[in-house]
Chain A
């Protein structure tokens, strides 16, 4: 099994629908992240969580919310999806570890299309 598992891998939905993307990890890492990838823009951070009780907004949190249900689970929700949220979404984890040596482990991605 993959260290970081994202579901669903692909989703097509309509404008206004509520969507949840789920992420689970077996790395035992405290830190979890949600990134969005768009062509030509690289990866942008949506939300991050350094532990179950610590959730923080990233660069582009508007229109998104998250839930850290457990150390191993971190879900991203789109309350009312819109077409410009069409993108490839990645969950990632990292160990708190030594400052400066922080390495992310990524899931395989969830491709979301909003019509």
Chain B
């Protein structure tokens, strides 16, 4: 079956530090990959996505590249801000699962001023 493994948190950084949150996956077929973000007290919202190998998703300074050879989709940002403090979820959809999202367990990021 499908599964997503992401680095365990919490991750604590200072403002303007470089961020990497690792995500690897197991899936049947050719999955689409996503990063969702959950700000405190809110629901999840899509941060970025990639639908095929070597695609790079990007949004709000965050980037992630779909690496089929390493089955990875690591999230990066060059300079984090306090407002980036949130929980980040890696997720995938594969046609073999009737298009249901499979989520990782989430990584809590705290950015200090």
Contact = CB atoms under 8 A, between A and B. Distances in A.
Contacts of A109: 42-43
Given A100-B51, A101-B32, A90 B43 contact: yes
Contacts, number: 58
A33 B44 CA distance: 13
Place the interface of chain B in its size category. Answer: 20 to 34
A107 to B, nearest CB: 5
A33 to B, nearest CB: 8
A42 B93 contact: no
Contacts of A33: 100
Interface string B38-80: 0001111110010110000000000000000000000000000
Nearest to A48: B100
Contacts of A4: 43
Interface residues of A, number: 26
B106 A108 contact: no
Contacts of A74: none
B105 A106 contact: no
Nearest to B31: A100
B89 A100 contact: no
Interface string B10-49: 0000000000000000000011101010000111111001
Contact of B99 (A42, A58, A102, A108): A102
A108 B39 CA distance: 10
A4 B100 CA distance: 18
A41 interface: yes
Nearest to B6: A42
A90 B30 contact: no
Given A100-B30, A102-B32, A102-B93, A58 B45 contact: no
Interface of B: 30-32, 34, 36, 41-46, 49, 51-52, 89, 93, 95, 98-101, 103-106
